[in-house]
């Protein structure tokens, strides 16, 4: 084994080998892969080997599509067989809610170019004749579904990686990973020590243990998973063509042909976590003992759905562990807080996602960013707040709901409440119906006495409708109040603070007492943040962004450190230490004036001031995401309850009501305001979304992404973000619904909902720039129905901005 390498990958499963292959494919040939046993040890060798494109996140679905298409390329490159079986597959729906979900997925696939289709029970019976279609309403057919040989595919990746220069060392156990001062890593093994510029943790079942060597925690946990292979079955081996896959969510099962018989696996509710206290180092090619008790109910259901199974003998039982993250998606990318340490873990669907994971990580390492938005699998999406005790119940919940209907408004209950603010008990007593963001409990809306304290999960308008309308009305007619806790907040101070902010932000950095809005860009000009920058003094600033992107943004800040900006700078994430409230509505100024000694009548839009409120010294800025007259008021978190008492005492006589995120999302649609990870994400650019109006084109700074957006300014992008009024029925746009123009899909929605102010259904989405004119008539596909919609350019509320700016 050589003493130095550019990249050291720990783990020889399908993901580790894919990463090695893609790194060499993109030009990094000095790659070393270490495997403690044989390739495919751990989970890879006993995987069922199925692959499919269906995924609720469009970028994950696209990466899964890339993975599937890659297998033919691997076979041609290496001359090895991946054992491909492109047989197609159908996901069954036995309830209207499940069918709604499949229709929503089909709609997404239209603009992605995937050729899925909704089919009826008769078509399902012809396609998959062993299926009992009693009670089945329909299904989603995907011609790309199939299965392969897990070992053959992994060895094909490995051979392709070797052809590109990768060295693979088997039976080499990693004992230590030690960070070096220069950012490189010392990897100590039982065969010697190697120094690597970059370290990739692709250790699968041992990813937790390998991460612990570097002093970090990855939120992962193995779960026991069991599938059965039957004896030869005449209904299968007498067919002229291979039987397609059948996913039966009601029965928590997936089924496919295996040779002359069948393979069926289960995601049972009575599941069991494995290796709670750590994966044994000597575990490898073993299986777990058969456990029919936990899948007894699932088997009984499968006998009814697929009667042929009751007559088929069981040939073999495969019962082994797979590793899951709390939401079931992989953990990929640079680990926050560690230099040159990369995660490629938690890829439980390795043969659907492994190729896409390898490609994205290789692009990230070599080019500094992935080709498409990978937030759904970014290792930073959970932050560093998670503990093993939190991860375990969330992983169990994810396993249990893997085949459940996924609703856009659903709030899953496991491991909650975990993180709460000082206002939790107050809001709870006021009827808060809770959601969560980044582990934090956040009010979605407030139920009145006698109303249920939960929101019904639905693809259509839910029972939160009346409460949301009440809260919107309170904001528009009087004054509303909610927390500013669920903002990410960063304190930046020092002589070099302005210079650093000028370089890292594309927009104007304000003068003392003012604030500005600015995008933060990647070198390729993609949006990686939208921030409010508040100048508290010449050398003191606050940045405000998405609460759920804290680790993502902190990782970026630290990768572009302030000490390069020509002066001392301190950067502090104060998201949970600085909090407060926003008040918004036509009477917001009256409330603020009632609680301060200073005159605030001359406080202009985008002003920021330090004011005494009650016992606290707060800083207040005049801005509101509601699009109304509003103020954000910040204090130390220990002072939040005292601030509440003062504001509520002054505001309640003026009609003040608390409002939650459901109302906030309705209010922002009145002004067509975009939202992080909806309208603004690393998939999009400022010129596409309209954020280019906040770029400081004249500032004499080579800010990050400057060259890319200047080029885009010269050559305008082909698409643009637009707003639509939709002739909706009982369901509004959520995201990714296709936009039809002249009978063709030419755009897609980014978000939408109902404006209770205007009493209209609103959608935001991308359309070709040359079509984006006021009054354009389009159709938007919502749950399988084509709904007429009209492009509008004038906001639905305060179109002259008199309330917001006056």
Question: Residues 177-208: pLDDT tens digits?
Answer: 999 999 999 999 999 999 999 999 999 999 99
Q: Are 446 and 659 in contact (CB under 8 A)?
A: yes
Instruction: Give the C-alpha separation, 357 to 204, whole Å.
Output: 13
> For the ranges 68-72, 130-134, 356-360, which has the lowest average pLDDT?
68-72
Q: Per-residue pLDDT tens for 536-552?
A: 999 999 999 999 999 99
How far lies 755's CA from each of 84, 456, 672, in Å? 49, 20, 10
Q: What is the DSSP letter of 101?
A: H
φ and ψ of 339, to 5 deg: -85, 130
Taking residues 94-123, report their average pLDDT.
93
Q: Where are the domains of the chain?
A: 487-573
Instruction: Give the C-alpha separation, 206 to 200, whole Å.
Output: 13
> For the ranges 137-141, 533-537, 670-674, 713-717, which has the lowest average pLDDT?
713-717
The pLDDT assigned to 563 comes to 66
744-755 vs 738-741, strand pairing mode: antiparallel
The pLDDT assigned to 42 comes to 77
Q: Beta-carbon neighbour count of residue 95 at 10 Å?
A: 14
Structure token digits, residue 338? 């560690």
Instruction: Give the C-alpha separation, 362 to 367, whole Å.
Output: 8
Q: What is the DSSP letter of 705?
A: T
Helix H, strand E, coil C: the string for 488-501 is EEEEEECCCHHHHH
The pLDDT assigned to 464 comes to 97
List alpha helices for 440-562, DSSP H: 465-477, 497-504, 550-559
The pLDDT assigned to 188 comes to 98
Q: Per-residue pLDDT tens for 436-466?
A: 999 999 999 999 999 999 999 999 999 999 9
Q: Are 377 and 329 in contact (CB under 8 A)?
A: yes
Instruction: Give the C-alpha separation, 323 to 367, whole Å.
Output: 29
Q: Per-residue pLDDT tens for 677-712?
A: 999 999 999 999 999 999 999 999 999 999 999 999
How far lies 138's CA from each of 53, 118, 245, 304, 703, in Å? 19, 7, 15, 17, 52
Q: Per-residue pLDDT tens for 563-602?
A: 654 568 999 999 999 999 999 999 999 999 999 999 999 9
The pLDDT assigned to 564 comes to 55
Burial of 498: CB neighbours in 10 Å, binned 0-12, 13-18, 19+: buried
Instruction: Give the C-alpha separation, 761 to 755, whole Å.
Output: 6
In Å, how far from its chain's centre is CA 711? 29
221-230 vs 314-324, strand pairing mode: antiparallel
The pLDDT assigned to 62 comes to 86
Burial of 410: CB neighbours in 10 Å, binned 0-12, 13-18, 19+: middle
Identify the three-state secondary structure at position 226. strand
Taking residues 92-111, report their average pLDDT.
93
Taking residues 416-421, report their average pLDDT.
96
pLDDT: is 111 or 749 the higher one?
749
Structure token digits, residue 26? 């993109």
CATH of 487-573, one of 1.10.1040.10, 3.40.50.20, 3.30.70.1400, 3.40.50.2300: 3.30.70.1400
Taking the model in full, what pTM does it have?
0.95
762 forms beta bridges with 725, 753
Of the candidates 654, 651, 635, 549, which has an alpha carbon nearest to the alpha carbon of residue 595?
651
Structure token digits, residue 15? 């993901």
With cut-offs at 50, 70 and 90, classify the pLDDT of residue 735: very high
178 forms beta bridges with 186
Instruction: Give the C-alpha separation, 596 to 340, whole Å.
Output: 50
188 forms beta bridges with 176, 193
Instruction: Give the C-alpha separation, 714 to 681, whole Å.
Output: 22
Instruction: Give the C-alpha separation, 778 to 90, whole Å.
Output: 31
Of the candidates 226, 233, 350, 347, which has an alpha carbon nearest to the alpha carbon of residue 291?
226
With cut-offs at 50, 70 and 90, classify the pLDDT of residue 562: confident
> In the chain, what percentage of residues exceed pLDDT 70?
99
In Å, how far from its chain's centre is CA 619? 32
Q: Are 438 and 548 in contact (CB under 8 A)?
A: yes
Residue 47 has pLDDT above 80, yes or no: no
pLDDT: is 42 or 665 the higher one?
665
Q: Per-residue pLDDT tens for 754-796?
A: 999 999 999 999 999 999 999 999 999 999 999 999 999 999 9
Q: Per-residue pLDDT tens for 200-220?
A: 999 999 999 999 999 999 999
194 forms beta bridges with 187
Residue 61 has pLDDT above 90, yes or no: no
The pLDDT assigned to 60 comes to 87
Cis before 417? omega within 30: yes
φ and ψ of 24, to 5 deg: -70, -35
Q: Are 71 and 153 in contact (CB under 8 A)?
A: yes
H or E segment to which residue 23 belongs: helix 14-25
Q: What is the DSSP string of 102-146?
A: HHHHHHHHHHHT---EEE-HHHHHHHSTTS--TT--EEEEETT-E
Residue 51 has pLDDT above 80, yes or no: yes
The pLDDT assigned to 44 comes to 73
Q: Tell me what the pLDDT averaged over the chain comes to.
A: 95
Question: What length does the chain have?
Answer: 806
600 contact partners, CB below 8 Å, separation of at least 6: 589, 592, 593, 609, 611, 620
Instruction: Give the C-alpha separation, 621 to 536, whole Å.
Output: 10
In Å, how far from its chain's centre is CA 770? 31
Taking residues 346-371, report their average pLDDT.
94
The pLDDT assigned to 54 comes to 75
């Amino acid at each position: 084994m050589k003493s130095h390498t550019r990249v050291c990958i720990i783990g020889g499963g399908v993901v580790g080998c894919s990463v090695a292959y893609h790194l060499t494919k993109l030009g990094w040939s000095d790659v070393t892969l270490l495997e403690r046993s044989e390739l495919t040890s751990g989970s890879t060798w006993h995987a069922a080997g199925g692959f499919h494109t269906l995924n609720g996140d469009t970028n994950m679905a696209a990466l899964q599509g890339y993975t599937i298409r890659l297998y033919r390329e691997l076979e041609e490159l290496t001359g090895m067989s991946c054992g491909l079986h492109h047989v197609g597959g159908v996901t069954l729906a036995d309830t209207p809610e499940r069918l709604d979900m499949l229709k929503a997925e089909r709609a997404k696939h239209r603009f992605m170019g995937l050729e899925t289709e909704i089919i009826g029970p008769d078509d399902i019976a012809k396609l998959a004749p062993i299926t009992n279609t009693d009670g089945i309403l329909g299904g989603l057919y995907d011609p790309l579904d199939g299965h392969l040989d897990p070992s053959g595919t992994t060895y094909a990746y490995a051979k392709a990686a070797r052809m590109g220069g990768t060295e693979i060392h088997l039976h080499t156990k990693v004992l230590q990973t030690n960070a070096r001062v220069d950012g490189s890593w010392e990897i100590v093994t039982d065969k010697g020590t190697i120094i690597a510029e970059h370290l990739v943790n692709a250790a699968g079942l041992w990813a937790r243990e390998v991460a612990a060597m570097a002093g970090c925690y990855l939120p992962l946990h193995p779960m026991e998973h069991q599938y059965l292979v039957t004896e030869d079955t005449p209904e299968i081996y007498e067919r002229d063509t291979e039987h397609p896959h059948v996913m039966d969510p009601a029965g928590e099962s997936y089924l496919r042909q295996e040779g002359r018989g069948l393979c069926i696996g289960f995601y049972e509710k009575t599941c069991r976590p494995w290796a709670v206290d750590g994966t044994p180092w000597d575990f490898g090619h073993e299986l777990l003992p058969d456990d029919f008790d936990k899948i007894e109910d699932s088997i009984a259901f499968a006998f009814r759905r697929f009667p042929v199974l009751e007559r088929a003998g069981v040939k073999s039982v495969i019962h082994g562990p797979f590793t899951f993250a709390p939401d079931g998606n992989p953990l990929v990318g640079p680990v926050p807080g560690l230099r040159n340490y990369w995660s490629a873990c938690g890829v439980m669907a390795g043969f659907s996602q492994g190729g896409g994971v390898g490609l994205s990580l290789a692009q990230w390492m070599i080019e500094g960013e992935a080709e498409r938005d990978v937030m759904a699998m970014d290792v930073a999406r959970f932050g560093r707040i998670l503990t093993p005790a939190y991860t375990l119940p969330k992983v169990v919940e994810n396993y249990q709901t893997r085949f459940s209907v996924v609703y856009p408004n659903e709030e899953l209950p496991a491991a909650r409440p975990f993180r709460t603010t000082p206002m939790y008990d107050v809001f709870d007593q006021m009827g808060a119906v809770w959601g969560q963001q980044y582990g934090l409990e956040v009010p979605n809306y407030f139920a009145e006495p006698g109303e249920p304290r939960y929101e019904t999960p639905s693809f259509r308008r839910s029972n939160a409708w009346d409460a949301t309308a009440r809260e919107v009305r309170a904001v528009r007619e009087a004054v509303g109040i909610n927390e500013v806790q669920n903002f990410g907040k960063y304190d930046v101070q020092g002589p070099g603070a302005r210079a650093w902010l000028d370089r890292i932000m594309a927009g104007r950095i304000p003068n003392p007492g003012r604030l500005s809005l600015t995008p933060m860009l990647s070198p390729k000009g993609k949006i990686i943040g939208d921030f409010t920058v508040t100048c508290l003094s010449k050398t003191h600033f606050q940045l405000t962004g998405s609460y759920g992107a804290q680790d993502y943004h902190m990782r970026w800040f630290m990768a572009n450190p302030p000490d390069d900006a020509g002066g001392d700078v301190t950067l502090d994430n104060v998201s949970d230490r600085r909090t407060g409230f926003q008040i918004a509505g036509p009477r917001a100024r009256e409330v603020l004036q009632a609680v301060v000694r200073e005159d605030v009548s001359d406080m202009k839009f985008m002003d920021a001031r330090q004011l005494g409120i009650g016992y606290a010294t707060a800083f207040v800025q005049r801005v509101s995401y509601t699009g109304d007259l509003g103020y954000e008021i910040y204090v130390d978190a220990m002072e939040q309850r005292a601030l509440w008492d003062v504001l509520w005492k002054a505001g309640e006589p003026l009609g003040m009501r608390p409002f939650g995120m459901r109302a906030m999302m309705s209010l922002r649609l009145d002004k067509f305001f975009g939202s992080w990870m909806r309208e603004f994400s690393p998939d999009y650019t400022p010129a596409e979304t309209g954020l280019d109006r906040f770029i400081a084109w004249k500032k004499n700074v080579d800010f990050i992404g400057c060259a890319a957006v200047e080029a885009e300014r010269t050559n305008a992008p082909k698409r643009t973000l637009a707003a639509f009024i939709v002739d909706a029925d009982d369901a509004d746009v959520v995201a990714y619904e296709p936009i039809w123009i002249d009978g063709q899909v030419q755009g897609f929605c980014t978000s939408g909902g109902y404006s209770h102010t205007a009493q209209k259904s609103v959608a935001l989405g991308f359309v070709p720039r040359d079509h984006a004119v006021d009054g354009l008539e389009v159709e938007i596909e919502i749950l399988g129905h084509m709904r007429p919609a009209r492009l509008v350019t004038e906001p639905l509320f305060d179109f002259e901005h008199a309330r917001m700016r006056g």
